[in-house]
Amino acid sequence: MTTRLNPYLGFRDTARQAMEFYRSVFGGELTISTFGDFGVSDDPAESDKVMHSMLTTDGGFVLMGADTPDRADYIAGTNFSVSLSGDDATELQGWWDRLSDGGRIDLPLERAPWGDTFGMCTDRFGVSWMVNIAGAAD
């Protein structure tokens, strides 16, 4: 697996419909996982919401998206992040360290329920970043 940089869109309760729409536009394979699939929500109203979706097109585009939980702020127009993902732990950890320096760590880079190492930060310029290191050990 190579390291990829992808847009990651946030929605308020419409991620499934939006991602299915993008699949109708771009084609490709769409995978969708809910908060309930990973058991990360105690709120039954959130269990069917999209925790992560990924559309991979035949042309090589990758678009990701998720529902923003009701407990989190959602402001239309600011509902995106940049996702860095891959299996080069050294490279991704270095990028994480530099991006979060002088910024804010929103979710520490640590083992996630799906088995990868994952974190979220906002850099010193207000850009939101997600880093996912595939199969990385603690």
Residues whose CB is less than 8 angstroms from the CB of residue 64 and which lie 6 or more positions away in sequence, other chains included: 6, 7, 8, 9, 52, 53, 54, 55, 83
- Give residue-wise pLDDT tens across range 49-68: 999 999 998 888 899 999 98
Residue type, 14: T
- Give residue-wise pLDDT tens across range 101-121: 999 999 999 999 999 999 999
Task: State the CATH class of domain 4-133.
Answer: alpha beta
Residues whose CB is less than 8 angstroms from the CB of residue 91 and which lie 6 or more positions away in sequence, other chains included: 3
- Give residue-wise pLDDT tens across range 11-51: 888 899 999 989 998 899 999 999 988 887 777 888 899 99
Domain ranges for the chain, please list them: 4-133
Alpha helices in the chain (DSSP H): 15-26, 35-38, 89-100
